[in-house]
Amino acid sequence: GPIHNALSRRFLKAAVQMAEYRSYRDDFSLHYVRDLGVDVSRDLRFPDLAFGLRAPTHDPVVDRRPAHAAVGVGVMHYRGWKRGQADGEAIYRSYIAKLSAVIGRLLDDGRRVHLFMGDKADETALDDIFHGLAPRPSGASHAFVSVARTASLDQVMEELKKVDIAIVSRYHNLLCALKTGRPAFSLGYAQKNDELMAAFGRSAFCQHIEDFDVEVLIGQVRTALTDLDGARKEIEQH
């Protein structure tokens, strides 16, 4: 969900009712199906299966000093929730512009930025952001930016091991960040992101991908970078 079209909801309900076994990865999903008029009294809830993936066991050789902290940014080729919607291009351009502004501010702070993606379709967004970055005062706009064309969750986790915090949009990129103990900031497009963040005590760090506030995000990232150990310990507890 969300699925708003009445015919689509009928198809979903019919499919759900034919299942002999049902489980959900969060309470929102279970309640959504219940509200379709389906009996969920015998249904179960478990964490997303991707939590069962084996996280990388080795740590790459990176500079872990606070002044040299790195930020991972998982980009997404997002043009609105509805496929082909009329304002999709405007939504995409606004997202690219604001995320580029965030990255520019991080670079101005002297941070290293690692761009990665969660789906092959995200390559366009990755390229648009990387090539559109404004030159830094030093004249070397990409000196502290790396690009990883990640094609699997294993590769996403490998990239996340190189950074200290992560700003992401795709659900499974967010999951990988939390699984590897990285304080995450969600620019989500659906309730599932918020539900996952709430399970890790990070509801305060969720914004919607279409209307996120650059200043709020930058302020939260800067604050998190002052106490990385505290944030990581909280994630590990969950």
Residue 231 is encoded by which pair of tokens? Answer: 């944030």
Which pLDDT band, with edges at 50, 70 and 90, does 141 fall under? very low
Q: Are 135 and 141 in contact (CB under 8 A)?
A: yes
* 36 and 150 within one domain: no
Q: What is the pLDDT of residue 154?
A: 94
DSSP conformational letter for 145: E
**pLDDT at res. 70:** 93
29 and 103 co-located in one domain: no
Count the neighbouring beta carbons within 10 Å of the beta carbon of residue 125. Answer: 22
Contact 132/92 with Cβ under 8 angstroms? Answer: no
With a CB cutoff of 8 Å and minimum separation 6, the contacts of 139 are none
pTM for the full predicted model: 0.89
Cα 104 from chain centre: 19
Same domain assignment for residues 185 and 79 = yes
Q: Is residue 61 one of the residues assigned to a domain?
A: no
pLDDT tens track for 14-69: 999 999 999 999 999 999 999 999 999 999 999 999 999 998 877 765 655 656 78
What pLDDT shows up at residue 129? 95
Question: What's the CA gap between 4 and 214, in Å, rounded?
Answer: 30
Find the CATH number of the domain harbouring 146: 3.40.50.2000
What would the two tokens of residue 139 be? 């004249």
Range of the domain at 231: 66-237
pLDDT of residue 60: 66
pLDDT band of 5, cuts 50, 70, 90: confident
DSSP character string of 117-140: ESSGGGHHHHHHHHHHPPPPTTS-
User: Could you tell me if 70 and 30 lie in one domain?
Assistant: no
19 or 85, greater pLDDT: 19
Q: Percentage of the chain with pLDDT > 70?
A: 92
Number of folded domains in the chain?
2
19 & 136 share domain: no
Q: Is the predicted pLDDT of residue 182 greater than 70, yes or no?
A: yes
Same domain, 73 and 102: yes
Residue 163 lies in a domain: yes
Count of all residues that appear for the chain in the document = 238
Asked whether the beta carbons of 107 and 201 are under 8 A apart, the reply is: no
Q: Are 153 and 60 in contact (CB under 8 A)?
A: no
For residue 23, give the 3-state DSSP assignment. strand
Q: What is the mean pLDDT of residues 152-168?
A: 95
Asked whether residue 26 falls in the same domain as residue 101, the answer is: no
On whether both 108 and 18 belong to a single domain, the answer is no
Strands 70-75 and 44-45: unpaired
User: Mean pLDDT over residues 147-155, rounded?
Assistant: 93
Q: What is the mean predicted confidence (pLDDT) over 80-102? A: 91
DSSP state of 54: P
Mean pLDDT across 216-236: 93
Q: What is the mean pLDDT of the chain?
A: 90
